[in-house]
Structures are given as C-alpha cells and as structure tokens.
Amino acid sequence: MLEKNKYVPRVNQIDAISLNNDIARLIRDNLLENLQAISPVLFIKFQPELDLLIQSAIWFGSVGKRCSTFGQQLLVLAYDAEKLTVSRLVLHFALTVLPGYVKSWEERRLSRRVEWFSQAITWAENSALVLNILNYFRFLKTGRKPTLIDYFLGLDYISLRNNQRRDIGYKYLTRELLWGGFMEILGLVLPIINFRKLQRLLKSWTSGQQFSGKRRELDNRELLAPKMMVGTTCTYCGERPTLPHHMGCGHIYCYYCLSANVLTDASFCCTICGVACAKDGVQSV
C-alpha cells in the first residue's frame, strides 16, 4: 500500500497543474474535432452542451473517481481524501466545469445579450484573475493550495511516494542548451552564405584545367545560338525549361535557375561551356 506524504514540492504542484491542463485540452479538442466531422450541424447547434459533457466526463474520470487530476496521477500526487468530502467534490465540480459552460452559453444561446448578465460575467472573470494572482504569491510563500479553487475548498496535495527528491538531469539540460545555441547560430549564419557561389567554386576547383581549356577554346570561336528542341532540358536543374533563357551561349536554362545564379554570383559562368554572362544580361530564347 502506498504511503501518503503531505510534503509536495512547489514545482511538482505547478507541473501537475500544467500537465492536467494539457491533457484535458488534448482530450477535449480531439473529441470535439471528431464530433464536428461527424455532424457539423449538430456540433454548431449544441457545442456548449457537448463541451460541458466532455469536461464533465474528464472530471468524473479523474477527480470524481480517483481524487486526483490526470496531471497529479502522472506525478504520483492526489488530493487528501480525508478533506475531499462529498460537498467539496460537488463544489469542485461546479467551480471547475460550470463557469466555462455559463460563459459559452451566454455568448451563443442568448438571442440578445443581457447587459447586466454580461457585465456580471466580465466582473467575475476580472475578480477571479486578481484573486488568482494573489493566491499564486501566497502559494509561493506557503507551498500549499496552488489554485484558487483549492484554497477556497481547503484542499491540499499529498504525495503517494516516499522519495521526494526531484532528480534533475544536468547532462540533458546541457545538451539542450548547446543544441539551442547551435540552432541560433545556424539561423544567423545560413542566410548570409552564398551557396550558389560556393557550389561554383567547388566545381571549378574539382575540374579546373578542363574548365579553363573549354573557356579558351570557346573564346576563339563564335558563340552558338540557342535552339529549343522537344527534348531540351535546363542545363542547371535538368528539368523541362520554364521560361527558357540563356546568357549568350547555346545552352538553355530556366529563367529562375539562370537569374538566381547571376544575381547571387557576379562571376557565374555556364556550367557546361564556361561562358560568362553577356553584357546584355539574361536573354530570352
């Protein structure tokens, strides 16, 4: 039998709240999405009631059945069952589930908005926000009752395990920090690197002598006029040329392939014959 311990670190209580909110949101969103796909008309007409039904099922499956939320169960925590009486369970359900339904009902069901009712809901939301902030500072000082509902109902968290030490993997933390810093550096450096020019320099370095020989040979003869054939492909990407263009030699490029290379690299030459771009610039075929 698990032994309960009334000491629960503050960080565990905050983690339990965050986990419970995330789990409840995932369940709710998934079910509502499936219901909307099954019957959009029914979903639009009864969305507040469907949302209330799902929220109620989540509450009864967690707090109502096991005296703990889903987030608390993942961290081996629970509410103190001795303090979680039937009346407090009813109030916990009313304060947790019903406010969202009342607000949704006021927005969707009333044919014309009642001014005093809307103002009352707004006042209640603002008051709850202020009280939540005050309760959070109180929680940081005392380490008990992290939410406003827990404070009003007098509910405390208990731990169902003996070891209360929170193990922190500093190796994982260091790895994440290093990886995050590396990604930030890549985000700053990559946009300023001219990859097209690096590619051209690499090609010219790997086939330097043959490339220079082709350039000298082409300089001594008249350049060929480009001819668009049925099987013509782009010299750069190897696909069917889109808006075929050339730069003074007989080799055809896509407009984007050619113009992008010329704009990013002033020394760009034809990848086959080595002819530089003409003074007239990129020309259409």
pLDDT in tens, the chain (285 residues): 445 567 888 888 999 999 988 888 888 888 878 877 887 777 777 778 888 888 898 899 899 888 899 988 888 888 988 888 899 999 999 999 888 888 777 666 555 556 777 788 888 889 999 999 999 999 999 989 999 999 999 998 988 876 455 555 667 778 888 888 888 898 888 888 877 778 777 777 776 544 444 444 444 445 566 778 888 888 888 888 888 888 877 788 888 888 888 888 777 788 777 777 776 677 887
Return the pLDDT at 211. Answer: 47
pLDDT for res 137: 93
Q: Do 272 and 204 form a contact (C-beta atoms < 8 A)?
A: no
Please give the pLDDT value at position 92: 92
Q: Which candidate, 267, 272, 280, places its Cα nearest to that of 234?
A: 272
Angle at 45 between CA 108 and CA 32, to 5 degrees: 95
Helix (H) or strand (E) holding 76: none
Distance CA 50, CA 250 (A): 69
Provide the pLDDT for residue 217.
43
Q: What is the pLDDT of residue 223?
A: 55
- Which pLDDT does position 208 carry in this prediction? 57
Nearest to 234 by CA among 223, 248, 245, 247: 245
Write down the pLDDT at residue 118: 78
Give Dmax over CA atoms of the chain in angstroms.
Answer: 99
Q: Which of 234, 244, 247, 253 lies closest to 276, judged by CA?
A: 247
